[in-house]
Structure 1
């Protein structure tokens, strides 16, 4: 059964991928499983041979995996059918049943859209703070509205390693964003007259009314804390309900730098603390007033029901977040095992819990919270098993010994959890803070044993007698101030920063395998094997990376990554109009380099200094080492970097097969680069020998017609197989004569989805069509990767890697 559950989880984890073979194995797996079960019950009832047992395990795992894959495939297909694809102005009828989220620029509100499809779908509405405050048009819980505005479909930067907004929308069951321009409140009678009476009746059901009441109480608690005379309102609310609407950006950044962001989310211990507090109080009342009850019903049986109800109540109160759901399912399963007098096997409970959760919400597999929550739980169970074994060997005689043992467990659990979750942290966040174990060593017990219990008591006080709740919140504010004082002291001593880690798939797999061996019980696998697993982390194989050229999807901008063996080069790094709001450098370029195992660049060529080409560099130049930077204008670089102008005649011979040269601008034209940035762009020509069908790449930067004319004059026999269009495919670049003479086999345009410039231009597309030259765009395909396989130059598109990225 465990292997079936494990196969189920792994099968669900393939969500977004397409494996026709797995789908074709579903029926055979079911048939084989039925045959094996029948054989086990009849002919081979007393057969305990190793071969038959292995056969059962393999078929059980195969069945679980194929079922999981098929279930995930169907669920994703159903959800993708309701996703919005285009931006358009619409009028929708909506119902509000979820608590909103306050942001600096807007209020985000999940809305149920009644009139868009045959089924009700969920969108994410964005309302400006000014509208809500001045015109009093905020969306109230439990109310219906007619909204006018523009749909904002999710469109990710399809670059490996960057945040996948489309995946997040799918996981959250959000079919579109929606920018609200007008709001009109509707009555239930209006909704009935519009033909949605059935939906209104559904919302009147007991379960939906309870859910609405919970959301209203969460909102009331938010307003109550916001009005309290305390300094740490955001932390008080976030640690109680997971609502981060009041959290200050400075506090959030502080927790991020110390690797403690997970403490701001509701986790299993929060739920258990609440349940244990109430059950302990109930136990004390029983012991004081009617202890004879325990003679009729053992304590563990009597308290199981209130304990589970408390866990359920708190999970509902925090919005059924994944860590809380994991705790709820685990508690229910363990309670069932206790009532049925079955032996509790922690790993089995964990697998059953994950499997059940994925039945009800298979999309939770896409969340980092799922993997981190269950990963931490697995490590804690291993620590618990170790402690149990030690307790059998050690006899605790004094309270000082007990304290020493508890401190030992605390320290051991922190370094083990930090180490065990390292691969997951690298997969999801691409960076770590080395001070995390030290900060968590103090913060976790301080929050878990003091702040969270006080928060819960204060919330109880609020519901019973508001001044009492306010008093406890103020006391807790002092406790949080003490925690922040300690963190700020650590900040003053260590000044920690999040370190980006470069690790490719192979080294990451080796790290995971080594950690699994390290955490296995003694005697299963020799611990010295860990050394073999960790060798790839320090070994450098110069020949492991064959040639590749990737045109990254950085929106409206350009960034090109080139690698051949140990040599790495980037041409431009993209850039947002305001890197402080959204940093292309930190949120796209650095994660991409990290997942490709690149810890430094040999060269960077900034074709010119427009923001959409150099902005990403400015945001990461202090954090990422680059040996040499080239541009057509003078540029301030880091002390460890060298600067030089790029100009015609420069050449770099990386190897016998790769040559790079600069075709423009001429050295005498560099003085005009400040005033003619686009035309004086650095134009790079790259040749890869002995490959087919793409050998010669011409990268035009933002160069226009004038530069194209000079290139044709200077290099009349220039061979080009792949042309990266100048100025993102602008109509002032890629002249008809230029395209006709070069006659590339393929052209690429790096441009942003729905960009206001209309790039690539319709005129350029028409020229290419007339000349029968194919065009690939980062809008349609995401990052476009050319890579060498033996003597073939192949192409891969990032938007082909996941089903939700395809449009």
Structure 2
């Protein structure tokens, strides 16, 4: 049996390494090479070279699977031109959106009277007219590519239901789904005091994560308890464990206990929506129950390897999911760190001490991975989880299922009591998140956290006990970075069809425009800014925010930004402080407003339009006759450009009387033909021109005429659609540039079909 486990471990390891080796390829290999590699893998496996054979097969399998997924995605032609009819069963999604088959759709449909069309409910079957588009992740430094994660979850396209789309419900939801939908809809009728408790209850009991607000998610992230509200192996394992504990206590026969444990756990996974995490956890649970049953004396490592192989064959893209690594890593730690010793020596400690050791081990081993993936870190997460894990597993989760069953029978009191209890839990988490001691402790040297991986070493190796040292060293004060007053940076963020530019000098930060915002409170600029506005880098948030004008794709993210970070000074038409003649400092930089000629708002005009855009020229101190500069024009048109361009030649002249070229130009109106005219280009002769346009945008930005004009002036052109976020580092007149999308993964080609 040990030999079989060893062989399957080699197969699983080889398959995983092979899949990982092909995940980040930028170009497709020739079909002939792929066929040869497949033949070689079969030959190696036949000769019992399990690791190398599985590695080659995994490499090929990921490419084959991805090609199949790409065939299911809409083509760019279809996405751009068609209102494609879709037919299928509705699943819940977030905000004003629905999930239909493998497509997430934003819902803008209106009734014939012009009112908002009610969103379809889960389990209903609808026929819809939808405008589709292939998946596309925003590309920002420090922000994970979500396209692969969505593909791993089975999503192959996005899109929206237009306002005038034809929509028709063909079939009602099943009685179970109707009850579920009715219960979810009741949350809006609850009083504000207990509404959060209801959201937490239904999110846990029914897997309705879409009900959690942005504030709820941030609270769970800050306290390190997010995993408790995402249906996964923890929940299924706790439910199955509860049944097995009762079976042991009351001497139930194994033939009854094991099927009952499986039925309860799998039934809960189905009720909660059967997501990717639940699917992964269900397989692991079934194999675990087989081990307990003694079927064919299935060892833990053999079961672990089988589960890994089955999941990788069913969906090789699962390696792009964070949950995959966390769940399999946690199981591997528990098997290696605890199961072996308990199996050999018995349970020498109390269950509470075992739980404490498990939590400490997982904290040490997974904190580096979580920080690397951009998660929050809170010193209080260990004691919080020590309380909440047993509370959720032994009280809240089974209590939620019992209360939901009683509510279905007409008894609403237990559910109301439980909602109040969940509200108390939320209040406790809120208090823990506000503890000054914990929240004020910032990681100064995150690299030391990797010492926590020593906890993964087998028992008996003394060095594994130094894993805790990483947590101590990570908080030691680091040597403050010396700022160069002559260096400044420009970060053009990828926020889709919108503008957001971050300018930094001498530790001060200015954000010009904020991209689009959404009614849910989310804005694309938030994750794009996260890496650059950490407390250690920007303890006071943003020094200055400038809003060019009132269009949503320029100002929509401002409420979300002000809710997330402190803004010291705001410049906009609403503030009446951004117009020609105004100037101020940003670190060592001089910021000058060139347009509009006067504050645009008055009693008869309450909205700043394109022609009112606040235009900024930002200049660095001259160095050996060299001037470096940045021009931000918002959506100003050709007529406005012709006016303020008259001053640019003088403003770009050095002390020797020589006109210097403009270093960076953010093209007006995302590259529209209504901006970036000849007078502007003749006055500036820009070295770099950046178009802040969305991928496959319906406006056709940047326009061919603009691209051609910039070519005639030898400007190097980049766009956020093609290159992702673009960062410029300017020092003593020298410019260094890098962009995010230098080696796009294979799924970059989603939607391109012959």
Same fold (TM over 0.5): yes
1:182 has 2:182 as partner: no
- 1:12 maps to which residue? 19
Judged with a 3 Å threshold, the aligned counterparts in structure 2 of structure 1 residues 69 and 697 are, in CA distance, closer, same or farther, namely farther
Among candidates 362, 382, 388, match of residue 437 of structure 1: 382
1:74 CA drift (Å): 2.4
Kindly state the Cα deviation for residue 636 of structure 1 after the two structures are TM-superposed: 13
**Per-residue deviation, 1:37:** 8.5
**Equivalent position of 2:723 in the other structure:** 781
- Name the SS for the 2:73 alignment partner: coil
Q: Report the counterpart of residue 551 of structure 1 in structure 2.
A: 492
CA shift, 1:543, in A, is 8.4
**Structure 1: distance between partners of 2:615 and 2:80:** 34
1:530-581 per-position Cα deviation (integer Å, ceiling 9, x unaligned): 75897677544848999864321123443334679x8675552524356872
- Counterpart of 2:427? 488
- Find the counterpart in structure 2 of residue 700 from structure 1: 632
Q: Equivalents in 2 of 1:680, 1:136: separation in Å?
A: 39
Is 1:101–2:42 an aligned residue pair? no
For 2:656, the equivalent position in structure 1 comes to: none
Question: What is the aligned counterpart of 1:344 among 276, 299, 312?
Answer: 299
The aligned counterpart of 1:765 is 707
The residue matched to 1:431 in structure 2 has which SS?
A: coil
CA distance in 1, matches of 2:122, 2:434: 43
Q: Among 94, 105, 124, which residue is 2:104 paired with?
A: 124
Does 2:58 correspond to 1:68?
yes
**Matches of 2:646 and 2:590, distance apart in 1:** 18
**Change in 2 beyond 3 A, CA 1:559/1:444:** same
Which one of the candidate residues 353, 360, 367 is aligned to 2:321?
367
What is the CA RMSD across the aligned residues, in angstroms? 5.3
The alpha-carbon distance between structure 1 residues 182 and 448, as it changes in their structure 2 partners (threshold 3 A), is: same
Q: Secondary structure at the match of 1:95?
A: strand
Per the alignment, residue 501 of structure 2 pairs with 560
1:386–1:481: structure 2 CA closer, same or farther, 3 Å change rule? farther
Deviation at 1:517, TM superposition (A): 0.8
Task: Confirm whether residue 448 of structure 1 aligns to residue 390 of structure 2.
Answer: no
1:408 is aligned to: 353
- Taking the aligned partners of 1:730 and 1:315, their CA distance within structure 2 comes to 49
Q: Secondary structure at the match of 2:87?
A: strand
Within a 5 Å distance, the mapping from 1:282-431 to structure 2 comes to: 300=254, 304=258, 307-308=261-262, 311-337=265-291, 339=294, 341-342=296-297, 344-345=299-300, 349-381=303-335, 384-385=338-339, 388=342, 392=346, 394=348, 405-431=350-376
What do the CA deviations read for 1:265-299 (whole angstroms, capped 9, x no partner)? Answer: 22224324544566678889996xxxxxxxxxxx5
Match of 2:616 among 672, 678, 682: 682
Change (3 A) 1:434 1:697: same
Kept in 2: contact 1:30–1:63 (CA 8 A) = no
Looking at structure 2, the residues matched to 543 and 69 of structure 1 have their Cα atoms a distance apart, in angstroms, of 45
Distance 1:258 1:633, change over 3 A: same
Q: Does 1:804 align with 2:747?
A: yes
In the TM superposition, what is the alpha-carbon distance from 1:72 to its structure 2 partner? 1.8
1:364–1:370 CA contact under 8 A, matched in 2: yes
Q: How many angstroms apart in 2 are the aligned matches of 1:620 and 1:631?
A: 14
Answer whether contact 1:274 1:456 (CA < 8 A) is retained: no
1:715 counterpart residue number: 652
Secondary structure of 2:618's partner?
strand
Q: Which has the higher contact order (CA 8 A, sep 6+)?
A: 2
Distance in 2, matches of 1:623 and 1:227, equals 30
Give secondary structure in 1 for the equivalent of 2:693: coil
The reply to whether residue 263 of structure 1 matches residue 247 of structure 2 is no
Residue correspondence of structure 1 range 31-46 to structure 2 within 5 A: none
CA 1:10/1:496 → structure 2, altered by over 3 Å: closer, same or farther?
A: farther
Q: CA deviation at 1:747?
A: 1.7
Secondary structure, counterpart of 1:516 in structure 2: helix
Aligned mates of 1:222, 1:95 — CA distance in 2: 18
Contact conserved, 1:5 with 1:355, CA < 8 A, in 2?
yes
The equivalent of 2:461 in structure 1 is 523
Q: Is the 8 A contact 1:270 1:448 kept in 2?
A: yes
Q: So what's the TM-score if we normalise by structure 2?
A: 0.74
TM-aligned CA distance change 1:633 to 1:743, over 3 Å = same
Give secondary structure in 1 for the equivalent of 2:615: coil
Q: Does 1:170 align with 2:161?
A: no
Count of matched residue positions in the alignment of Structure 1 and Structure 2: 698
Is the Cα–Cα contact under 8 Å of residues 549 and 785 in structure 1 kept in the other structure?
yes
Distance 1:705 1:155, change over 3 A: farther
Q: CA deviation at 1:683?
A: 0.9
Alignment of 1:131-210 (within 5 A): 138=120, 141=123, 143=125, 146-162=127-143, 164=145, 166-174=147-155, 175-179=157-161, 181-184=165-168
Q: CA 1:35/1:170 → structure 2, altered by over 3 Å: closer, same or farther?
A: closer
The separation in 2 between residues aligned to 1:359 and 1:570, in whole angstroms, is 48
Kindly name which structure, 1 or 2, has the bigger radius of gyration based on alpha carbons: 1
Is 1:572 the counterpart of 2:542? The answer is: no
Deviates more, 1:734-743 or 1:671-680: 671-680
Match of 2:68 in 1: 78
Q: For 2:651 and 2:117, locate their aligned partners in 1 and report how far apart those are by CA, in whole Å.
A: 64
CA change 1:458–1:178 in 2 (3 A) is same
Please give the alpha-carbon distance, in whole angstroms, between the structure 1 residues aligned to 2:85 and 2:443: 46
CA distance in 2, matches of 1:769, 1:22: 33
Q: TM-score, normalised by structure 1?
A: 0.69
Question: How far did residue 6 of structure 1 move?
Answer: 3.0
Q: Please give the alpha-carbon distance, in whole angstroms, between the structure 1 residues aligned to 2:581 and 2:451.
A: 45
Alignment correspondent of 1:190:
none
1:619 CA drift (Å): 4.4
CA distance in 2, matches of 1:700, 1:358: 48
Match of 1:242 in 2: 207
Contact kept in structure 2, 1:431 and 1:499, CA below 8 Å: no
Gaps of 5+ in 1: 42-58, 112-121, 188-211, 288-298, 397-404, 638-642, 654-659
